[in-house]
C-alpha cells in the first residue's frame, strides 16, 4: 500500500535542519581583525621612563637611579642624614624626582585676621529699622548686614519683619508643606513635640531628680501621699509573697532548719542504733 508523500511549499534549501551541520563540512576559524589588534595595542601602550632606554652611543658606566613611586622604606636613608661626601646626594640632586631643599615663601598657615568691624551707632540702628519696615522684600537680613557691616543675627535682634512680610513667609511655608508626604509630615510633627517637651536641667538626670524629691523634707500636703504609697507598696509585696508561698508550698526558713535538724538526728540514731 502506497503512502502519500506530503511536499512542503517551502523550498528544501530554506529548511536548515535538513542540511548537514556546519562543523561537518567547514571548520570554524577564529581570527583577529586589524581593529582588535589596534585596540589592544592602544590599551597596552605604556610610555617607559627615560632611564629605561639609552641611545646606543652612550656608555654604560653609570648607575641608574629610578626610585619607585611609593613611600620610602625604613632601609632608605633620607638625604638630610646622608654624609656630605656620599654619592647618593649627587644622584638624588641629578634625578628629576629629587625635591629641592630650598624652600621659598610658603603661604600662611592661619587665615589673615579679619578687619575689625566698626560699632553701629543709634542712627545706624534707626536706619536699619526704617529700611526694614519700608521694603522688607528688598532689604532682607543679608542685604542689611552687608550694607552696615554686621551679621544677619544682629539685624534680626535689632528689628523684626513687618506683619505683611510674616504673612507672605507663612503663605510660602504653607505652600511648601502642601507638597510634603506622610513621612515628612510625621517627622516634622515629632520634631515640634520634642521642642515642646520640658528641657532637662544640665548635669542632672531624671533619676537624680527623683532621689532628690524623695530625700527632700516633705510638706504637710505631700507627706500623706508618700506615706499611703509606701503602705500600699508594702501590703502588695506581703500579699504577693503569701500567695507565692501558698501555691509553691515553700516552708519558712525556721521550719526548714528544724526539718533538716530532725532528719540529721534520726539518721544518726539509726546509724548508731
What's this model's pTM, rounded to 2 decimal places? 0.30
The pLDDT assigned to 233 comes to: 61
What is the secondary structure of the chain as a DSSP string?
Answer: -PPP-PPPSS-GGG-GGGSPPHHHHS-------HHHHHHHHHHT--PPPTTT---TTS---S------SS---TTSPPGGGS-TT-HHHHHHHHSTTPPPS----PPPSSPPPPPPPPPP-HHHHHHHHHHHHH-TTTS-HHHHHHHHTS-HHHHHHH----HHHHHHHHHHHHHHHTT--HHHHHHHHHHHHHHHSPPPPTT--HHHHHHHHHHSPP-TTTHHHHHHHHHHHHHHHHHHHHHHHHHHTPPPHHHHHHHHHHHHHHHHHHHH-
Which residues lie below 8 Å from residue 88, measured CB to CB, with a gap of 6+? Answer: 77, 79, 82
Judge contact between 165 and 156, C-beta under 8 A.
no
Report the share of the chain in percent with pLDDT over 70. Answer: 47
Judge contact between 152 and 142, C-beta under 8 A.
yes
Judge contact between 136 and 162, C-beta under 8 A.
yes
The pLDDT assigned to 45 comes to: 73
The pLDDT assigned to 13 comes to: 52
Give residue-wise pLDDT tens across range 115-145. 666 688 889 889 998 998 888 888 888 899 8
Which residues of the chain fall short of a pLDDT of 50? 1, 21-26, 98, 201-219, 250, 253-254, 256, 268-272
d(CA 68, CA 57): 27
d(CA 141, CA 240): 68
**Domain-by-domain residue ranges, the chain?**
117-161, 162-200
Give residue-wise pLDDT tens across range 62-90. 677 777 777 777 778 888 888 889 888 88
The pLDDT assigned to 179 comes to: 92
d(CA 156, CA 209): 37
Amino acid at each position: 500500500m502506497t503512502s502519500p508523500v506530503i511536499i512542503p511549499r517551502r523550498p528544501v534549501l530554506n529548511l536548515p535542519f535538513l542540511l548537514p551541520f556546519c562543523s561537518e563540512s567547514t571548520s570554524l576559524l577564529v581570527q583577529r581583525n586589524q581593529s582588535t589588534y589596534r585596540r589592544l595595542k592602544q590599551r597596552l601602550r605604556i610610555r617607559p621612563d627615560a632611564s629605561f632606554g639609552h641611545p646606543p652611543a652612550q656608555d654604560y658606566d653609570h648607575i641608574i637611579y629610578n626610585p619607585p613611586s611609593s613611600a620610602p622604606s625604613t632601609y632608605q636613608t633620607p638625604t638630610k642624614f646622608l654624609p656630605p661626601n656620599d654619592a647618593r646626594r649627587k644622584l638624588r640632586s641629578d634625578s628629576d624626582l629629587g625635591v629641592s631643599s630650598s624652600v621659598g615663601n610658603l603661604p600662611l598657615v592661619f587665615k589673615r585676621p579679619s578687619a575689625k568691624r566698626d560699632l553701629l551707632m543709634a542712627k545706624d540702628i534707626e536706619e536699619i529699622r526704617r529700611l526694614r519696615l519700608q521694603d522688607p522684600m528688598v532689604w532682607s537680613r543679608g542685604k542689611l548686614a552687608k550694607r552696615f557691616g554686621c551679621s544677619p543675627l544682629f539685624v534680626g535682634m535689632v528689628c523684626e519683619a513687618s506683619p505683611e512680610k510674616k504673612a507672605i513667609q507663612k503663605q510660602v511655608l504653607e505652600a511648601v508643606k502642601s507638597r510634603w508626604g506622610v513621612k515628612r509630615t510625621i517627622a516634622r510633627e515629632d520634631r515640634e513635640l520634642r521642642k515642646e517637651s520640658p528641657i532637662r536641667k544640665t548635669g542632672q538626670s531624671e533619676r537624680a531628680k527623683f532621689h532628690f524629691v524623695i530625700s527632700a523634707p516633705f510638706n504637710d500636703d505631700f507627706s500623706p501621699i508618700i506615706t499611703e504609697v509606701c503602705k500600699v507598696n508594702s501590703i502588695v509585696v506581703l500579699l504577693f509573697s503569701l500567695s507565692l508561698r501558698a501555691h509553691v508550698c515553700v516552708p519558712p526558713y525556721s521550719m526548714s532548719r528544724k526539718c533538716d535538724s530532725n532528719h540529721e538526728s534520726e539518721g544518726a540514731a539509726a546509724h548508731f542504733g
